[in-house]
Amino acid sequence: MANPAILTVDDDPAVSRSVARDVRRRYGDRYRVVRADSGPAALDALREIKLRGEQVALMLADYRMPEMNGIQFLESAMDIFPRARRVLLTAYADTDAAIDAINVVDLDHYLLKPWNPPEEKLYPVVDALLEAWLAAPDQSIPDTKVVGHRWSAPSFAVRDFLARNLVPYRWLTTEDAEGMRLLSAAGAGPDDVPLVITPDGVSLVKPSESTLAAHVGLTTTPAEEFYDLVVVGAGPAGLGAAVYGASEGLRTVLVEQRATGGQAGQSSRIENYLGFPDGVSGAQLTDRARRQALRFGAEILTTREVVALDAGGSTRLIRFSDGSSVAAHTVVLATGVSYRLLEVPGLAELTGRGVFYGSAATEAPSCSGEEIYIVGGANSAGQAAVYFSRYARRVHMLIRGPDLTRSMSSYLVDQIAAIPTIEVHPHTQVVGASGGDHLETLTLCDPRSGQAREVNTSWLFIFIGAQPRTDWLDKAVVRDANGFVVTGSDLVVDGSRPAGWSLPRDPYHLESSMPGVFAAGDVRAYSVKRVASAVGEGAMAVSLIHRYLEAQ
């Protein structure tokens, strides 16, 4: 088991290094010292520690920080590690704020800066707090253990599935003594990975996602055969529809093939979402929305692949890949989009072994001190670049255009320009990749001159646009040439309603060519590709569903 962590957070680099150095000097043999330069970054670190099933003993936070002050950080951190000891670092002028924080965040102590010598002013305080924590530490929570190879694509898939479904786990490689011990105890060998050991001690060798979901507490089977509303896809639009549908009394089930959150759930930081001035990670937003939907009574099913949509009178039937089905009065299609594959020689064989589509935040700590490459110039790529810059020695952004301004929000362009470890390479494309058990070399090319060069790297993250997840719909509803679901007035051409439309009215704004079936979010043709608009469309779909049901 990893040593408990002591977290320090201060936006002043000199002070941050000083705090971490003093703490590590005395406690580094028993505790792992984690350093962050802002409140949001520290919260991200705490969530990663939580997902790994590890513990935090002590948090030391500076009071004066620009994005999120120390009191705000400690208040948020209490939700993640409620029994960790909390210390606020203050200047003399801020002592009143520190005293107020005792009531706001149940502060254990505040320390005035500077504290030289630490032997007199720092260590006695920390000693006492750590002793108190050891006397009553966080209660041990049985965790899921994953044993695998560092560069194994199936091992990565299991870790990514657990992380995106917010299931805490401990990652052990076949190079760890404990990892090999667990393999031996399960009667498995180094080639039998990934091995997953559930909290109740069940060993799963190379489990499918559905098997894994069933053993880690995720729901995979609907409780009923008929609902008022089936929502297909658990991204922001689907979660929005589930929250509003369930809160307004509709019997609602949300069906997701992989994990709640969709592409937005993989975002390291969403900074332009209303109500979060300091930004919010996709995982945090997803977790809140998921808990909100469950609180209102919605069911959430994972690892269920939807393969067909049928109509039978006023009933809409959703068919699953295992042959089962679920029926409802109405359906919301919120399947979102997936990143397009980069068709380059060598990449397919290395996917999951150094080549990743999307942010793959589970891999960020492994990128520490290394050179990583990101393909793409839209917001998702920019958010990933900012996030990975906290770990990597240098982040290289490869874009086809001359700069980022044409495809990325200006706030993000400004952030990237201010981070010296991010380098943008205009007019650059990946044309080749090679490696043994993992990615080792990329071939880059300037399409204007045709000049190519090779770079050594073990990490490539790809964000090159999106394609709708609608192949399974076949001809059930009208889709445009790119596969997006056509809705509302766009279905009425020259005054004619779509073929097969049986109602004496035009389709509602978000309604597809099948009455009672609505589309929301990125999967809908001509939608605005933003988290806020997706959530709004999910809520709007429920309002239109009420109108549809009242008319039946």
Give pLDDT tens digits for 381-411. Answer: 999 999 899 889 999 999 999 999 988 999 9
- Residue 453 domain flag: yes
What pLDDT score does 264 carry?
83
Residues 94 and 195 in one domain: no
Q: Domain boundary at 215, 242, 275, which?
A: 215
Instruction: Say if residue 99's pLDDT is above 70.
Output: no
Three-class secondary structure assignment of 277-338: CCCECHHHHHHHHHHHHHHCCCEEECCCCEEEEEEECCEEEEEECCCCEEEEEEEEECCCEE
Task: For residue 309, count other CB atoms closer than 10 A to its CB.
Answer: 21
Q: How many domains does the chain have?
A: 4
Residues 332 and 362 in one domain: no
Residues 253 and 296 in one domain: yes
Three-class secondary structure assignment of 220-254: CCCCCCEEEEEEECCCHHHHHHHHHHHHCCCCEEE
Give the type of residue at 87.
V
Phi-psi region of 217 (alpha: psi -120 to 50; beta: other; left: phi over 0): left
> Is this model's pTM higher than 0.85 or not?
no
Q: Which helix (H) or strand (E) holds 349?
A: helix 347-350
Q: Does a cis peptide bond (omega within 30 degrees of 0) precede residue 277?
A: no
Query: Is 281 in contact with 270 (CB distance < 8 Å)?
Result: yes
Q: Domain boundary at 429, 464, 499, which?
A: 464
Residues 458 and 473 in one domain: no
Residues 334 and 475 in one domain: yes
Give the type of residue at 345.
P
Q: What is the mean pLDDT of residues 275-279?
A: 77
Instruction: Say if residue 322's pLDDT is above 90.
Output: yes
Q: Which helix (H) or strand (E) holds 162?
A: helix 153-164
Task: For residue 505, count other CB atoms closer than 10 A to its CB.
Answer: 10
Instruction: Say if residue 354's pLDDT is above 90.
Output: yes
Average pLDDT of every residue of the chain: 90
The CATH code of the domain that includes 414 is 3.50.50.60
First CA to last CA distance, the chain: 59
Residues 320 and 230 in one domain: yes
Q: What is the mean pLDDT of residues 480-498?
A: 95
Instruction: In whole angstroms, give the CA distance from residue 267 to residue 281.
Output: 6
Q: Which helix (H) or strand (E) holds 59?
A: strand 56-62
| Structure tokens belonging to residue 439 | 């990615």
Query: Is 209 in contact with 161 (CB distance < 8 Å)?
Result: yes
Q: Domain boundary at 464, 488, 521, which?
A: 464
The CATH code of the domain that includes 157 is 3.40.30.10
Residues 12 and 97 in one domain: yes
Q: Which helix (H) or strand (E) holds 18?
A: helix 13-27
Residues 119 and 156 in one domain: no
Residues 319 and 351 in one domain: no
- Residue 13 domain flag: yes
Q: Does a cis peptide bond (omega within 30 degrees of 0) precede residue 114?
A: yes
Lowest mean pLDDT among 64-78, 264-278, 286-300: 264-278
Which residue range is the domain that position 489 belongs to? Answer: 226-338+467-551
Helix (H, G, I), strand (E, B) or coil at 541: helix
- Residue 221 domain flag: no
What pLDDT score does 167 carry?
86
Residues 473 and 453 in one domain: no
Residues 367 and 442 in one domain: yes
- Residue 523 domain flag: yes
Query: Is 56 in contact with 69 (CB distance < 8 Å)?
Result: no
Instruction: Say if residue 51's pLDDT is above 60.
Output: yes
Residues 191 and 44 in one domain: no
Instruction: In whole angstroms, give the CA distance from residue 105 to residue 426.
Output: 47
- The backbone torsions φ and ψ at residue 265, rounded to the nearest 5 degrees and listed phi first, read -65, -20
pLDDT digit string, tens, across residues 56-98: 999 999 988 887 888 889 888 888 888 899 988 887 656 666 5
| Structure tokens belonging to residue 145 | 């253990």
Q: What is the mean pLDDT of residues 517-531?
A: 94
pLDDT digit string, tens, across residues 133-173: 988 755 545 678 999 998 999 999 999 899 888 888 888 99
